[in-house]
Chains A and B, each alone.
Chain A
Amino acid sequence: GVTQSPTHLIKTRGQQVTLRCSSQSGHNTVSWYQQALGQGPQFIFQYYREEENGRGNFPPRFSGLQFPNDSSELNVNALELDDSALYLCASSSQGRWGYTFGSGTRLTVV
């Protein structure tokens, strides 16, 4: 399946954070979503073959990487209180099939 680390994280406003994801075997596309409490997931960006393949309405302080082994990172600089959310990594094969989500990282910014 898709694994994410860490599961929970508490950071201070202004700090930087890196979240990690290992895709499901055979999946070459990874997407990151932010889910605030009581809302649906919001698309941050997607990577395919180590290149950014689409981006949602998030500022440049949200950045990412995908590695040759299809693992991925989400980096957030200059954390704000509103960045507190569940961050979901989802992997898939190119095509129209649905995502497989990881268990998520709960980020709290204080």
Chain B
Amino acid sequence: QKEVEQNSGPLSVPEGAIASLNCTYSDRGSQSFFWYRQYSGKSPELIMSIYSNGDKEDGRFTAQLNKASQYVSLLIRDSQPSDSATYLCAVNRDNYGQNFVFGPGTRLSVLP
């Protein structure tokens, strides 16, 4: 079992819809969780972080964490064509180091 798993996609949604991206992780001791957006040929850009169970909202983005199920998700409301990118889930296994493990990413395509 890989440490961090994501559906590779592509996930296609129409403009204005909600895009739902999912991630599961294997290390139950993981402490913090991040979503990065990566446009083709560019470096990853941090868009959300979440540390506690529940939801965290930032503009059109909502991160959801369920540590019991070892599951983290990202919802993008009112999806725009500019949201088309690969979304990387990253898990940090401790609070003090930067022991990040990335998933393979999900490619999102928002259709005009």
Instruction: Please determine whether A41 and B88 come into contact, CB atoms closer than 8 angstroms.
Output: yes
Instruction: Please determine whether B98 and A31 come into contact, CB atoms closer than 8 angstroms.
Output: yes
- B90 contacts the other chain (CB 8 A): yes
Quick one: given A31-B98, A96-B32, are A40 and B88 in contact (CB under 8 Å)? yes
Query: Which residues of B lie under 8 Å from residue A100 when comparing CB positions?
Result: 46
A-B contact count (CB 8 A): 64
Instruction: Please determine whether B98 and A29 come into contact, CB atoms closer than 8 angstroms.
Output: yes
Interface size class of A (residues with CB under 8 A): 20 to 34
Closest A residue, CB atoms, query B47: A98
The 6 closest A-B pairs by CB, nearest first: A40-B102, A101-B43, A98-B46, A96-B32, A40-B104, A96-B95
Instruction: Please determine whether A92 and B44 come into contact, CB atoms closer than 8 angstroms.
Output: no
Most buried by B among A29, A95, A103: A95
- B71 contacts the other chain (CB 8 A): no
